[in-house]
Amino acid sequence: MRIVYGFLAALLLTVIGFWPSFFSNPAQNDWLHIVHGTLATGWMLMLIAQAWLIHHGHVKAHHLIGRLSMGWVAALVVTAIAMVHVMLTDSVAHGMPGKLALILGFSDVTTLPLFAIFYGMAIWNAFRRNIDLHYRLMTSTLAFALIPAVGRIRWPWSHGLIDGLQTAYILVELMLVALLTYDFLKHKKILPPYVAALVAMVLIHVTAFHAPQIAPYMAIARMLGYVG
């Protein structure tokens, strides 16, 4: 049940991070924000339900929701891409400096493919009955999904989104280190998913704040609608 509590904590951080812009009044948003916010929240609730179901032996229900999650995740990724497009094209209209929009966009452009890859590998390992990898790959998807939410929390030491994003990367990295440490102490082994997620997160962290100087990323940003 520890993982259920972990997922609940991740959901709480998400609600706190997006409380001003979404959860306090979802209807204040346009249809895209409502759909994406609903899909993202539903994904986290799905993780909680799946962990609870498997812990209590409801395997058939777990498998059914797992199959349904494929369409859910596809819709989540599509709407996330649309959200990046809106942010990069309308950053000025939303009072966001172009450089900040590019830095936030870099986080999304790098974590979204990783989220999809880790999810896909988790499903593949589920079909192969490799439960150890399935469980850790699915848990790792949270590392990539949490960055936008945790980055928007108004921490006492934060003075804006840049500070919040720095904090988000550090906290997620510490979370992955804690998961690795727990695996080693409890099971005397370290499996690839958490290691891969941690390495990817550190690489994104150290490059994100130089995003406007990264030519390949700028090409992608312009494809997504950035003008600047």
pTM of the model: 0.92
| CA dihedral over 201, 197, 120, 19, signed as positive or negative | negative
- Confidence grade of residue 91 (pLDDT, cut at 50, 70, 90): low
pLDDT mean across residues, the chain: 91
Percent of the chain at pLDDT > 90 equals 71
Report pLDDT for 4.
Answer: 87
Report pLDDT for 74.
Answer: 96
> Alpha helices, DSSP H only, in 90-160?
98-127, 131-151
Query: Mind listing the pLDDT tens digit for each residue in 153-189?
Result: 888 887 878 888 999 999 999 999 999 999 999 888 8
Q: Which long-range contacts (CB under 8 A, 24 or more apart) does 2-9 make?
A: 3/51, 3/55, 3/135, 3/139, 4/48, 4/51, 4/52, 4/55, 6/139, 7/44, 7/47, 7/48, 7/51, 7/142, 8/48
Report pLDDT for 187.
Answer: 81
Report pLDDT for 227.
Answer: 78
Residue 190 has pLDDT above 90, yes or no: no
Report pLDDT for 114.
Answer: 96
Question: What does the domain layout of the chain look like in residue ranges?
Answer: 2-223
Average pLDDT over residues 202-211: 95
Residue 35 has pLDDT above 80, yes or no: yes
Residues in the chain: 228
Query: Mind listing the pLDDT tens digit for each residue in 44-83?
Result: 999 999 999 998 999 999 999 999 999 999 999 999 999 9
Distance CA(155)–CA(160), nearest Å, equals 9
Report pLDDT for 168.
Answer: 93
Nearest to 197 by CA among 133, 151, 154: 133
Three-class secondary structure of residue 1 per DSSP: coil
Report pLDDT for 154.
Answer: 85
Query: Mind listing the pLDDT tens digit for each residue in 113-140?
Result: 999 999 999 999 999 999 999 999 999 9
Between the CA of residue 111 and those of 48, 104, 105, 142, 160, what are the distances in Å? 21, 11, 10, 10, 21
Report pLDDT for 209.
Answer: 92
Helices (H) and strands (E) in the chain, counts: 8, 0
Q: Read off φ and ψ for residue 164, nearest 5 degrees.
A: -65, -40
